[in-house]
């Protein structure tokens, strides 16, 4: 076991780590992004590919990242430097940490804009506004919000400010308490919504859409999208798990903790799908419409159910809190770096990093209004940042993590951290990070590239 100690405190228990990492995993990725990714990629085939990716790539890579974090016990950039020296690897491995941290900040820049919309919806519902009574008015209410640049900036700032405030105070203490309350409550509300959607929506069509696949529809871009969704939703490849792993007690079993986090996250994603699709089909909403899917579908349930105003407000508020748990995890690696390497005090480091992200996010916030005409090959600025981070940077970061954990790190070191006691399952982990993940990622990436060049 590595004898290093974290400079920023330690989780009080395995449970605290699982809560924090689950809080980072469950956020907009499972509730907002999962349904629209399913919609954009045609349903069941994507869901099956995604679930396979979560199990075969997501779980082993999560274990790898947490393991590296605990071994290094520093911020992701320093950890990668330390470990590559220790394992006599090339100096360039240090850049894996930089890649992850930079990707995380880019993701947060637009994540905060979406979280801002969520916050705006909570406030609007609380004030009694109707956010749609049918598909057309719901789409209208959503586009009214997006197209106001000042409002977009206001909510983006409010959300990021809150995240910076929490991170500035220190992640290890507050997070545990917050997540213990919000996560279970969010799940309860989702279950109620699923029941409502099953009664009042088109459940049969939604089930067929979500769970009936067709192997003939598997193509490289869809597979890459499924990998991206798996990494995004499990918080893999941005240094977040590495940073949280650094605060993990030495005795915690990484495999079991990771499995719990993955299972909870999949459960919530499926609940989100089972809420959105029955309602979307019932109201004739296009599941392939992209990032507006959640915002144009759920208000139709809240307007129709008894007590819907209160319930809807609570739901969007909890979603904001869940997003906050993720935003904290996205900020933490860079903030830990600034504290450890630049000797900034934590509040100042949080302010500086959040300020940078805020600036980057302005582009995304204005993509739907002032900058709407600007095109970058993959749509507007928002779409382009989303695309580059999820389809290029996250897979690259995941690939380098698997290569480092599988090939550069010696067997003894990873054995020690993962506790070999688990026997054959550990062999499966090794196979996954050494062979399966690199082959799948390189294969899918190359196939997509060939398709582009050919097309």
The residues that touch ligand PHE, with contacts defined as CB under 6 A, are 24-25, 27-30, 104, 107, 232-233, 235, 238, 240, 326, 329-330
Closest contact distance (angstroms) between CB of 87 and ligand PHE is: 25
Running DSSP on this structure, what letter comes out for residue 11? Answer: -
CB 258 within 8 A of CB 18: no
Closest contact distance (angstroms) between CB of 3 and ligand PHE is: 28
Closest contact distance (angstroms) between CB of 233 and ligand PHE is: 4
Closest contact distance (angstroms) between CB of 43 and ligand PHE is: 20
Closest CB to ligand PHE among 47 and 240?
240
Taken as a whole, the chain contains a residue count of 455
Rounded CA gap, 330 and 315, in Å?
A: 23
Closest contact distance (angstroms) between CB of 202 and ligand PHE is: 27
Closest contact distance (angstroms) between CB of 107 and ligand PHE is: 6
Sign of torsion, CA 403 406 411 415? positive
Closest CB to ligand PHE among 174 and 421?
174
Closest contact distance (angstroms) between CB of 104 and ligand PHE is: 6
Closest CB to ligand PHE among 29 and 395?
29
Closest CB to ligand PHE among 16 and 115?
115
Closest CB to ligand PHE among 231 and 311?
231
Q: Which residues neighbour 280 within 8 Å (Cβ) at sequence distance 6 or greater? A: 39, 201, 206, 286, 287, 293, 297
Closest CB to ligand PHE among 167 and 240?
240
Closest CB to ligand PHE among 241 and 413?
241
The first and second tokens of residue 153, run together, are 């900036």
Count of H helices and E strands in the chain?
A: 22, 0
Minimal CB distance to ligand PHE: which residue? Answer: 29
Running DSSP on this structure, what letter comes out for residue 407? Answer: I
Burial class (CB in 10 A: 0-12, 13-18, 19+), 426: middle
CB 255 within 8 A of CB 422: yes
Residue 363: closest CA among 388, 343, 345, 332: 388
**Greatest CA separation found in the chain?**
64
Rounded CA gap, 277 and 209, in Å?
A: 8
């Amino acid at each position: 076991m590595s004898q290093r100690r974290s400079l920023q405190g330690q989780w009080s228990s395995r449970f605290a780590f699982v809560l924090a990492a689950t809080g980072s995993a469950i956020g907009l990725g499972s509730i907002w992004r999962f349904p629209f990714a399913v919609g954009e990629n045609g349903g069941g085939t994507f869901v099956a590919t995604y679930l396979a990716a979560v199990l075969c790539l997501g779980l082993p890579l999560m274990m790898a990242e947490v393991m590296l974090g605990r071994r290094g016990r520093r911020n992701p950039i320093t950890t990668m430097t330390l470990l590559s020296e220790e394992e006599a690897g090339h100096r360039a491995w240090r850049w894996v940490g930089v890649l992850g941290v930079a990707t995380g900040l880019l993701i947060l820049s637009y994540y905060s804009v979406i979280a801002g919309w969520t916050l705006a919806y909570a406030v609007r519902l609380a004030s009694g506004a109707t956010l749609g009574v049918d598909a057309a008015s719901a789409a209208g209410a959503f586009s009214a919000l997006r197209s106001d640049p000042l409002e977009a900036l206001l909510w983006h700032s409010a959300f990021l400010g809150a995240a910076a405030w929490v991170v500035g105070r220190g992640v290890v203490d507050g997070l545990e308490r917050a997540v213990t309350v919000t996560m279970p409550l969010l799940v309860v509300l989702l279950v109620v919504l699923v029941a409502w959607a099953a009664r009042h929506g088109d459940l049969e069509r939604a089930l067929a859409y979500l769970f009936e696949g067709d192997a003939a529809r598997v193509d490289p871009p869809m597979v890459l999208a499924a990998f991206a969704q798996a990494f995004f939703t499990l918080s893999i490849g941005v240094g977040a798990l590495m940073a949280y792993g650094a605060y993990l007690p030495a005795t915690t079993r990484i495999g079991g903790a990771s499995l719990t986090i993955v299972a909870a996250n999949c459960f919530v994603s499926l609940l989100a799908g089972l809420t959105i699709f029955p309602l979307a089909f019932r109201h004739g909403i296009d599941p392939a419409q992209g990032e507006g899917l959640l915002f144009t579908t759920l208000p139709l349930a809240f307007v129709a159910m008894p007590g819907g105003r209160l319930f809807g407000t609570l739901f969007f508020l909890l979603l904001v809190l869940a997003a906050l748990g993720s935003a904290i995890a996205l900020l933490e690696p860079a903030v830990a770096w600034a504290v450890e390497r630049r000797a900034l005090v934590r509040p100042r480091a949080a302010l500086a990093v959040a300020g940078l992200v805020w600036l980057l996010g302005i582009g995304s916030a204005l993509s739907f209004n002032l900058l709407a005409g600007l095109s970058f090959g993959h749509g507007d600025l928002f779409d382009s940042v989303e695309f580059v981070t999820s389809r290029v940077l996250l897979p690259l970061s995941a690939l380098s993590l698997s290569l480092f954990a599988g090939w550069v790190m010696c067997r003894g070191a990873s054995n020690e951290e993962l506790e070999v006691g688990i026997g054959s399952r550990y062999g499966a982990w090794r196979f996954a990070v050494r062979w399966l993940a690199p082959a799948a990622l390189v294969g899918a990436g190359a196939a997509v590239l060939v398709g582009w060049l050919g097309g």
